[in-house]
């Protein structure tokens, strides 16, 4: 088990390094001059002299060769220093720390909604005896996956904010203002959970041990919840781990639709003004969330399936 944990930690470190390196290289290839954008100097601008631009490039390290900048930037990142925002002059770590709580609040509400909603839909689709209703419920995830998050958000605003004013459309000052963004963020994740879990349940229900449980007199509900759901939840658990990391990225769209403060807002602003340190910090943070959650999911597998513990213990040291 220790060997498995060390291997997973090494993989996590590799993913973070790859995410940082790719973000650094891709952002460096973007057209335009971030220092000129920070100084407000366009092609025809006469407000900022070339000498001042050269001083700013030297101050932010943009005058150095790419390998030198990468090595220095990576070394600083390993110490938790992601540089200074080109647009605001604040440390990137402080900028992310200020924007993080609203985004975490949004994802903390959206993820349980997605799991509960997707799980309920999958159970209803596989538990019902009516074939037409089952086919209808099983088709809903395919329809839901095709709906863009921003479209779902706009429809919710139109119906539940403008026509029937139940929830505020914009801002994050009240708890009610969290409802529509959380639902918008949860819908794409819920339909994916429902799709994976329903398929897994249908496969597990055809397994011989399920037939044995039925032959021993186990009731229908006991077969579903005691025997089938526990084994069928492993693929869905993997999906939940992936979705938990993706929710942070999807929050960029949702927070802009609902005019919420958070990582989405600062990411949009940073991309607009080519604030490379902030964009890179957001990318690395998203990769960190993805890696940590998937590591926790991997460690949770043995709680659902003891065979995983057995196979790890039997593996050669």
Taken in order of first residue, the domains within the chain and their CATH numbers are 32-81 (no CATH), 92-314 (1.10.3720.10)
**HSE-up of residue 277 (Cα within 13 Å, Cβ side):** 28
CB 56, CB 35: distance < 8 Å: yes
Query: Rounded mean pLDDT of 256-276?
Result: 82
**Amino acid 2: pLDDT:** 72
At 299-314, the pLDDT tens digits run: 766 665 555 544 444 4
* Weakest mean pLDDT among 76-80, 244-248, 253-257, 268-272: 244-248
91 beta partners = 84
**What is the overall mean pLDDT for the chain?**
77
The model's pTM is: 0.72
107/141: higher pLDDT: 107
Task: For the chain, give the secondary structure using H, E and C.
Answer: CHHHHHHHHHHHHHHHHHHHHHHHHHHHCCCCCHHHHHHCCCCCCCCCCHHHHHHHHHHHCCCCCHHHHHHHHHHHHHCCCCCECCCCCCEHHHHHHHHHHHHHHHHHHHHHHHHHHHHHHHHHHHHCCCHHHHHHHHHHHHHHHCCCHHHHHHHHHHHHHHHCCCCCCCCCCCCHHHHHHHHHHHHHHHHHHHHHHHHHHHHHCCCHHHHHHHHCCCCHHHHHHHHHHHHHHHHHHHHHHHHHHHHHHHHHHHHHHCCCCCHHHHHHHHHHCCCHHHHHHHHHHHHHHHHHHHHHHHHHHHHHCHHHHHHHHHCCC
Q: Which of 54-58, 180-184, 223-227 has the highest mean pLDDT?
A: 180-184
Q: How confident is the model at residue 235 (pLDDT cuts 50, 70, 90)?
A: confident
How far is C-alpha 133 from the geometric centre of its chain's CA atoms? 32
Give 187-215 pLDDT, tens digit per residue: 888 888 888 888 888 787 777 776 777 77
User: Integer distance in angstroms from the first to the last C-alpha of the chain?
Assistant: 9
Evaluate if residue 144 carries a pLDDT over 50: yes
- Does the pLDDT at position 273 exceed 60? yes
Q: Is the pLDDT of residue 276 over 50?
A: yes
CA angle centred on 228, ends 223 and 230, rounded to 5°:
120
Structure tokens that stand for 238 in this block: 């993997």
Higher pLDDT, 51 or 96: 96
Beta bridge partners of 84: 91
Name the most confidently modeled range: 5-19, 226-240, 243-257. 5-19
Closest C-alpha to 223, from 214, 232, 231: 214
- Predicted local confidence at residue 173, as pLDDT: 67
**Quick one: pLDDT band at residue 84, thresholds 50, 70, 90?**
confident
- pLDDT value, residue 98: 87
Query: Dihedral through CA 231, CA 234, CA 236, CA 241, nearest 10?
Result: 160
- The tokens for 17 are 């390094």
Q: Does residue 66 have a pLDDT over 70?
A: yes
Q: Which tokens is 115 given? A: 């799991």
The Cα–Cα gap between 129 and 132 comes to: 9
pLDDT > 60? residue 317:
no
């Amino acid at each position: 088990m220790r060997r498995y944990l060390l291997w997973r930690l090494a993989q996590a470190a590799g993913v973070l390094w790859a995410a940082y390196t790719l973000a650094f290289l891709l952002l460096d290839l973007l057209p335009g001059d971030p220092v000129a954008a920070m100084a407000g100097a366009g092609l025809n601008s006469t407000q900022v002299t070339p000498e001042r631009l050269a001083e700013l490039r030297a101050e932010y390290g943009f005058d150095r060769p790419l390998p030198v900048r990468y090595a220095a930037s990576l070394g600083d990142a390993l110490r938790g220093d992601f540089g200074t925002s080109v647009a605001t002059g604040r440390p990137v770590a402080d900028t992310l720390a200020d924007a993080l709580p609203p985004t975490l609040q949004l994802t903390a509400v959206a993820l349980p909604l997605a799991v509960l909603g997707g799980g309920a839909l999958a159970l209803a689709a596989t538990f019902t005896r009516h074939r037409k209703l089952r086919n209808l419920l099983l088709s809903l995830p395919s329809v839901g996956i095709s709906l863009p998050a921003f479209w779902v958000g706009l429809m919710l605003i139109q119906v539940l904010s403008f026509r029937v004013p139940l929830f505020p459309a914009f801002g994050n000052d009240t708890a009610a203002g969290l409802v529509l963004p959380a639902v918008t963020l949860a819908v794409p994740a819920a339909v994916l959970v429902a799709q994976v879990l329903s398929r897994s349940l249908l496969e597990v229900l055809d397994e011989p041990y399920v037939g044995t449980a039925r032959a021993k007199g186990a009731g229908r509900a006991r077969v579903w919840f005691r025997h089938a759901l526990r084994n069928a939840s492993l693929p869905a658990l993997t999906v939940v781990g992936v979705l938990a990391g993706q929710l942070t990225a999807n929050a960029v769209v949702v927070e802009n639709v609902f005019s919420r403060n958070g990582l989405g807002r600062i990411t949009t602003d940073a991309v607009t003004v080519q604030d490379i340190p902030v964009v890179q910090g957001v990318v690395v943070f998203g990769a960190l969330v993805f890696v940590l959650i998937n590591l926790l999911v991997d460690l949770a597998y043995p709680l659902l399936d003891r065979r995983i513990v057995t196979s790890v213990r039997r593996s050669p040291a």
